[in-house]
Chains A and B, each alone.
Chain A
Amino acid sequence: MVYTAVVLAAGEGMRLRPLTRNRPKPMLPAANRPILEYVLDALIEAGTEEIVMVVGYKHDRVQNHFGPTYRGVPITYARQEKQLGTGHALLQAREHVDEPMLVVNGDCLIESTLIEDVCATYDEGDGEPTLSVLAGPDARQYGAVVLRDGFVEEIIEKPTTDEYRLINAGIYAFDTDIFAAIDDTPRQEGELALTDTLAQELESGRVRGVETGGLWVDATYPWDLLTVAREVLAHDLTDEPEVEDGVWIDETARVHEDATLQPPVVVGPDCEVGPGAVVGPQTALGRNVTVGANATVINTVLDVDTRIDPGSTLLDTVTGQHVRFGPSTVVSGGPADVRVGNEIFEDERLGAVVADRVRADGNVSFAPGSLVGPGAHLHTGVTVDGQVRENTEVRR
Chain B
Amino acid sequence: MCGIIGAVGRGEDTLDVLVHGLSKLEYRGYDSAGVALASDSIDVCKKAGELDELRGSLEGRSISGSVGIGHTRWSTHGPPTDANAHPHQDCSGDVAVVHNGIIENYQELRDELASAGHTFRSDTDTEVVPHLVEDELRGGADPEAAVRAAVQRIEGSYAVAVVIAGVEQIFAARNDSPLVLGISDDAYYLASDVPAFRDHTDRVVYMGDEEFVTLAPAGWSVTTLAGDPIDKDVETVDWDPEETGKSGYDHYMLKEIHEQPRSLRQCLSERVDELAGTVDIADLADLNPRGVQFVACGTSYHAALYGAELFRQAGIPAQAFLASEYTTSPPPIGDALVIGVTQSGETADTLSALREAKRRGARTLGVTNVVGSTVARECDHVFYIRAGPEIGVAATKTFASQLAALNLLALGMAGSDEARDVIGALRDLPGQVQEVLDDSGARAVAETYLESDAYFFIGRGLNFPVALEGALKMKEITYKHAEGFAAGELKHGPLALVTDHTPVFAVVTGDGEQARKTIGNVKEVEARDAPVIAVTDGKSDVERYADHVLRVPDTHPRTAAVLANVQLQLVSYHTAAQLGRSIDKPRNLAKSVTVE
- List the interface of chain A (C-beta within 8 A of B): 22, 55, 59-60, 63-64, 66-69, 72, 74-77, 79, 252, 254, 256, 269-270, 272, 274-275, 287-288, 290, 292-293, 304-305, 307, 321-322, 357
Q: Assess whether B432 is in contact with A322, with CB atoms less than 8 Å apart.
A: yes
A357's contact among B242, B261, B435, by CB below 8 Å, is which?
B435
**Would you call A67 and B243 a contact (CB within 8 A)?**
yes
Cβ-closest chain B residue relative to A60: B258
Main secondary structure of the interface of A (DSSP, over half): loop
Contact between B245 and A69 (Cβ–Cβ < 8 Å)? Answer: yes
Contact A256 B427 (CB under 8 A): no
- Partner among B245, B248, B255, B430 whose Cβ is within 8 Å of the Cβ of A305: B430
Cβ contacts A to B, 10 pairs, < 8 Å: A63-B255, A63-B258, A64-B247, A69-B245, A77-B247, A77-B248, A270-B270, A274-B275, A305-B428, A321-B431
A322, B431: Cβ atoms under 8 Å?
A: yes
Q: Using Cβ atoms and an 8 Å threshold, which residues of chain A touch B255?
A: 63
The answer to whether B246 touches A322 (Cβ under 8 A) is no
Determine whether the beta carbon of B243 is less than 8 Å from that of A69. Answer: yes
- Check if A55 sits within 8 Å of B248, measured CB to CB: yes
Asked if B203 is at the interface of the complex by the 8 Å CB criterion, the answer is no
Interface size class of B (residues with CB under 8 A): 20 to 34
Indicate whether B500 reaches chain A with its CB closer than 8 angstroms: no
- Any chain A CB within 8 A of the CB of B274? yes
Contacts known (A75-B247, A287-B265, A288-B427); A252 close to B258, Cβ less than 8 A: no
Interface residues of B, Cβ cutoff 8 Å to A:
240, 242-249, 255, 258-259, 261-262, 265, 268-270, 273-275, 427-428, 430-432, 434-435, 437-438
Give chain B's interface secondary structure class.
Answer: helix
Report the separation of the CA atoms of residues A365 and B273 in the bound assembly, to the nearest whole angstrom. 29
**Cβ 8 A contact of B430, one of A59, A275, A288:** A288
Q: Shortest Cβ distance from A285 into chain B, in angstroms? A: 14
- Please name all residues of chain B whose beta carbon is closer than 8 Å to the beta carbon of A357 when the two chains form the complex: 431, 435
Q: How far is the CA of A287 from the CA of B270 in the complex (A)?
A: 12
Chain B residue, CB-CB nearest to A23: B438
B439 smallest CB distance to A (angstroms): 8
Inside 8 A of B438's CB, which chain A residues have their CB? 22
Query: Looking across the interface, which residue of chain A has its beta carbon closest to that of B268?
Result: A270
- Using Cβ atoms and an 8 Å threshold, which residues of chain B touch A305? 427-428, 430-431
Give chain A residues whose Cβ lies under 8 Å from the Cβ of B437.
60
Query: CB-CB < 8 A to B269: which residues of A?
Result: 252, 269-270
Q: Please give me the residue from chain A that is nearest to B276 by CB atom.
A: A254
Chain B residues contacting A64 (CB-CB under 8 Å) are 247, 258-259, 261-262
* Contact assessment for A59 and B268 in the assembled complex, using a CB-CB cutoff below 8 Å: no
Which A residues are CB-close (under 8 A) to B427? 270, 288, 290, 305
From A323, which residue of chain B is reached at the shortest CB distance?
A: B431
A272 and B274 in contact, given A22-B438, A60-B258, A63-B247 (Cβ under 8 angstroms): yes
Nearest 8 Cβ contacts at the A-B interface: A68-B245, A77-B248, A305-B431, A322-B431, A69-B242, A68-B242, A68-B247, A63-B248
Instruction: Kindly list chain A residues whose C-beta atoms are within 8 Å of the C-beta of B431.
Output: 288, 304-305, 321-322, 357
Shortest beta-carbon distance from A65 to chain B in Å: 8
- Shortest C-beta distance, A261 to chain B (Å), equals 15
Determine the chain A residues whose CB is within 8 A of the CB of B428 once the complex forms: 305, 307, 322
Please measure, in the bound complex, the distance between the C-alpha atom of A321 and the C-alpha atom of B430, giving whole angstroms. Answer: 11
In the complex, A357→B436 CA distance in Å?
12
Tell me the smallest distance from the CB of B365 to a CB of chain A, in Å: 24
CB-contact partner of A272 in B246, B248, B275, B430, under 8 A: B275
Minimum distance in angstroms from B38 CB to a CB of chain A:
33
Cα distance A93–B467 when bound, in Å? 42
Q: List B contacts of A307 (CB < 8 A).
A: 428
Least distance between A193 CB and chain B CB atoms (Å): 25
A69 to B240, CA, bound (A): 8
- Contact across chains for A59 and B265 when beta carbons are under 8 A apart: no
Chain B residue contacts of A275, Cβ below 8 A: 275
A316 to B273 Cα, complex, angstroms = 28
| CA–CA, A64 and B273, complex, Å | 26
Q: Which residues of A contact B261 (CB under 8 A)?
A: 64
A68–B246 contact, CB under 8 A?
Answer: yes
Within 8 Å CB of B268, what residues of A?
A: 270
Q: Inside 8 A of B274's CB, which chain A residues have their CB?
A: 272, 290
Which of B259, B432, B434 has most A Cβ within 10 Å?
B434
Q: Smallest distance from the beta carbon of A253 to chain B beta carbons, Å?
A: 10
Bound Cα distance from A64 to B258, whole angstroms: 7
For residue A246, give the distance in angstroms from its CB to the closest CB of chain B: 24
Bound Cα distance from A321 to B434, whole angstroms: 10
Q: Which residues from B are CB-within-8-Å of A269?
A: 265, 269
Q: Which residues of A contact B432 (CB under 8 A)?
A: 322
Please give, as numbers and ranges, the residues of chain A lying within 8 Å of B275 by CB-CB distance: 254, 256, 272, 274-275, 290, 292-293
Nearest Cβ distance between residue A260 and chain B, in whole angstroms?
16
| Other 19 A-B pairs with CB < 8 A, given A67-B242, A69-B240 | A22-B434, A55-B248, A59-B248, A60-B258, A60-B437, A64-B258, A67-B247, A67-B259, A68-B242, A69-B245, A74-B242, A252-B270, A269-B265, A270-B269, A288-B427, A305-B427, A305-B428, A322-B435, A357-B435
Distance to closest chain B CB from A74 (angstroms): 6
- Bound Cα distance A72, B242 (Å): 8
Chain B residues near A68 (CB-CB < 8 A):
242-247
